[in-house]
Structure 1
Amino acid sequence: MKQLLGVIDAATYHEDLQDLLLHRPVAALPFAGRYRLIDFVLSSMVNSGISSVAIFPKFGYRSLMDHLGSGKNWDLNRKRDGLFLFPASPMEAERNSGIGCFSHYADNLDFFYRSSQEYTIISNSFTVINTDFRELLQKHLACGCDMTEVYKNGQPLNIYLLKTSLLIDLIESRYETGYDCIKDVFDDMKSPYTFCTYEYEGYARRVDTIKNYYKTSMELLDAQVWTALFKRSQPIFTKVKDEPPSRYYEDSSVKRSLVANGCQLRGVIENSIIARGVVVGRGAVIRNSIIMQKCQIGENCAIDSVILDKDVKVESGTMIEGSPGMPKVYRKSSVIEQVDSRLKSLMTL
């Protein structure tokens, strides 16, 4: 849509997710086996006809750059408009700021001046959502407000809509007003602007804690939730990787799980999410867990309510257990060898 400019804030850091953010920003956090969190807001923008999207990361953004590339997978590798990445300056990277940081935008103010779109959508990068932002624009225009914020069940999603010219004014006047970010404007009871709220009725979840990440991931195993999020008319795009189909050996059993391509599965997998290239050894039992890309699970392992980051190796015979309310998290490239007698019963199934 020529009226809309997309801006995605990828600078937010969530302390509770730190074990999964050592080598990546939250925008690049793997999700649902083959996606990254940023894919959902970015795809929503593309499916809404937005052809110019700017992404503002702050730190650890190499994995994000690798994932996004030229924007080809989102049809944003264009001669005019397209995908833009504006990393924070070293001084800006030291600042603690909210979503829609005006000083970060000020370092790239020329981008906003050159943009021809009349309205701008500012969004965080960690909300799992699949929406058409044109409906938000129509509501905004009908209400005649200066700014509109998106809500879900009465809670803010940190997605905002305003005129591009107003955004430029807010950036340029930040020292006079004291507003550091777009959220500050909404929080100011004495603000001279008029605000509207847009209650989103579809599926939407903020992923800002380990608990939310795990809960949201497990919700995808519900067919109704999956259908509500992954709509045929509004596909979620991601980086394409050419890998062979997953191989299910005769002694494997997979129930109520999401399995990406390139896996070799010999064990029992139930109620879990298995990412690309995972190897599961003979006799292993995996339940209620999230196993990220290229993990290796040895023979006769028992894993329950666990999150394994990429390239984790679980030695044969290892037994580990978390809980749905507090899943155990293992950092990228860890090697795990830990026997837990409470899980020995799983090995007899």
Structure 2
Amino acid sequence: MRALGIILAGGNNNRMRELSNKRAIAAMPVAGSYRAIDFALSNMANSHIQKVAVLTQYNARSLNEHLSSSKWWDFGRKQGGLFVFTPTITKENSLWYQGTADAIYQNITFLKNSHEPYVVIASGDGIYKLDYNKVLEFHIAKRADITVVCTECRDQSEVERFGVIRMNDDCRIEEFEEKPIISSYNTVSTGIYVIRRRQLIELLERAAQEDRHDFVNDILIRYKNLKRIYGYKIDSYWSNISTAEAYYRTNMAFLEPGIRNYFFRQEPAVKTKIDDLPPAKYNAGASVKNSLVASGCIINGTVENSVLFKGVFVGNNCVIRNSVILNDVYIGDNTHIENCIVESRDTIRADSDYRGEDGVRIVVEKNDRYVI
């Protein structure tokens, strides 16, 4: 493909609550065995984009470990590769990334040293499958300066989380409002953009001279009447996990047969880093219904309508319902967990009871697993 990729994975959001205290949102576990960033990386690889830069910043340790080898997404080629860029103190700059445009600008040498004519920019917290080649074909056919991938937000109450778009009959964007309190439109930006590389360099340099740092407000919205900005609408599954509630809903969506079939059984595949773990083990008395149970789990109790990530231990007489249990959680005997997200590496004492009464509850317990 005649494009290079940039994945923005450095942001933080307080609406993730305790879940983002120790990891970037792009590193959040999804669907039992994946990380959020795997979906953008897989889309890049499946679209034959061989050169991809990931821009990290907030709580990047877990994300950097996940990205330590490019072979899992097939970027390990002599041409191209996977590049991870973090903020760096230089003679000219000693600041953290001040916004999405500034993050790319601080790594503008990557763009200037590349030869691909186009750039695909994606967010690291989107859960979707997309052939970026089709977006590029649309971009070229429309002779667009910038193409924004958009979708329909089915829940009007969620519109305030996104950039809201109004297009004309030719798909040219006429209005773009970033995270409005209320809007009569429900077409929202997915945070995926296609732009010519030289044009991107020009716009970033101009924004930096004017001390502007945000890609949406200072480039898309600022130039919407001066540049040919078009919207490419998708109707396949897309979700953004930037709030705790959205993260919970996204994981629970994978319990639907149609969603599982779309991501797990239909090509192209979603790729991730593989851990050498034994298969899940179901001991006598275990009961599992409509759940995803990852490798390395040991189940003794009852699990219903839940997602269990790698290395989870469920004790005797436990009941887990409508919950997301992250990696390496130990759940003691006779415990009841319902409508919860349990943070990774937690130790839940025996006879505990956690229930989300008014929405999803996040459980963070750091009890000692072994008493000396």
Q: Could you state the TM-score of these two structures normalised by the residue count of structure 1?
A: 0.90
Cross-structure match for 2:207:
174
Cross-structure match for 1:93:
96
Corresponding residue SS for 1:9? strand
Equivalent residues in 2 for 1:81-230, closer than 5 Å = 81-89=80-88, 91-93=94-96, 95=98, 97=99, 101-153=100-152, 154-176=187-209, 179-184=212-217, 185-188=219-222, 191-230=225-264
Matched residues in 2 for 1:274 and 1:59: separation?
A: 26
Deviation at 1:115, TM superposition (A): 1.1
One-letter code aligned to 1:92: L
Equivalent residues in 2 for 1:3-22, closer than 5 Å = 3-22=2-21
Contact 1:47/1:234 (8 A) holds in 2: yes
Q: Deviations over 1:83-109 (max 9, x none)?
A: 0011023643273x2xxx232223222
Structure 2 unaligned residues grouped into runs of 5+: 153-186
Matched residues in 2 for 1:46 and 1:135: separation?
A: 14
Contact 2:76/2:82 (8 A) holds in 1: yes
Contact 1:291/1:309 (8 A) holds in 2: yes
Equivalent residues in 2 for 1:278-297, closer than 5 Å = 278-297=312-331
Q: Deviations over 1:40-91 (max 9, x none)?
A: 1110111011101001111211111111112110111233310001102364
Matched residues in 2 for 1:190 and 1:316: separation?
A: 58
Contact 1:24/1:64 (8 A) holds in 2: yes
Q: Deviations over 1:233-260 (max 9, x none)?
A: 1111111101111110110000000000
Corresponding residue SS for 1:66? helix
Structure 1 unaligned residues grouped into runs of 5+: 337-349
1:313 and 2:347 aligned: yes
Cross-structure match for 1:28:
27
Corresponding residue SS for 1:161? strand
Corresponding residue SS for 2:285? coil
Corresponding residue SS for 2:95? helix
Deviation at 1:26, TM superposition (A): 0.6
Contact 1:273/1:290 (8 A) holds in 2: yes
Matched residues in 2 for 1:5 and 1:179: separation?
A: 24
Contact 2:105/2:208 (8 A) holds in 1: no
Q: Deviations over 1:317-344 (max 9, x none)?
A: 1111004x6211123x6239xxxxxxxx
One-letter code aligned to 1:102: A
Going from structure 1 to structure 2, the CA distance change for 1:161 and 1:8 (only over 3 Å counts) comes to same
Matched residues in 1 for 2:133 and 2:23: separation?
A: 31
Of 269, 273, 278, 1:235 maps to: 269
Task: Give the percent of matched residue pairs that are identical in Structure 1 and Structure 2.
Answer: 31
Matched residues in 2 for 1:264 and 1:55: separation?
A: 35
Contact 1:130/1:230 (8 A) holds in 2: no
Contact 2:23/2:59 (8 A) holds in 1: yes
Q: Could you state the TM-score of these two structures normalised by the residue count of structure 2?
A: 0.85
Contact 1:118/1:164 (8 A) holds in 2: yes
Paired residues, number? 330
Deviation at 1:110, TM superposition (A): 1.6
1:329 and 2:362 aligned: yes
Going from structure 1 to structure 2, the CA distance change for 1:127 and 1:113 (only over 3 Å counts) comes to same
1:42 and 2:41 aligned: yes
Matched residues in 1 for 2:356 and 2:17: separation?
A: 18
Deviation at 1:11, TM superposition (A): 1.5
1:78 and 2:72 aligned: no
One-letter code aligned to 1:106: Y
One-letter code aligned to 1:285: V
Matched residues in 2 for 1:294 and 1:176: separation?
A: 48
Matched residues in 1 for 2:366 and 2:290: separation?
A: 27
Matched residues in 1 for 2:320 and 2:259: separation?
A: 22
